Amino acid sequence: MELKVIDGDFSVCKVEDLSQVNLDRDFYFIGKTDEELSLVCRTGDVPQTTVSREDGFKAFRIQGELDFSLIGILARISDILARQEIGIFVVSTYNTDYVLTKGAQFDQALKALAEEGYQVCPAVCS
């Protein structure tokens, strides 16, 4: 399975509203529940309406479109990283999953996954 590094730094935020979110930017993940409004975006795109935020994340995605019948993809990745004591934050789209780790552990995470057979593609690969 191929993992593609996403270039740049990311932040996980809790926001008051979405009025300052520019959806023309390339990476925004919005989660809304009855208790909160959360946002994952590039650090440079964090809106001023942020209530709290955690910066310093790096990200990779599982390449390709994942069929909903596939089982255990994230479980395997999270198990590999948990054994390395690397925390993750995951967001999903219709097609695939994105895994974020703190930047200080990102290279360690990619190395551990490569050692377990994942193909890690840098941000500039095709």
> In this predicted model, what pLDDT tens digit does every residue of 25-83 receive, in sequence order?
999 999 999 999 999 999 999 998 899 999 999 999 988 665 555 667 888 999 999 99
Alpha helices (H) in the chain, listed in sequence order: 73-83, 103-115
For residue 36, the tally of other CB atoms under 10 A from its CB is 11
Please identify which residue in the block is written with the tokens 């990311």. 10
Start-to-end CA distance of the chain, whole Å, equals 15
Among 42, 57, 62, smallest CA distance to 105 is for 57
Distance CA 18, CA 39 (A): 9
Range 78-100 average pLDDT:
95
Domains of the chain: 2-121 (3.30.2130.10)
pLDDT for residue 73: 83
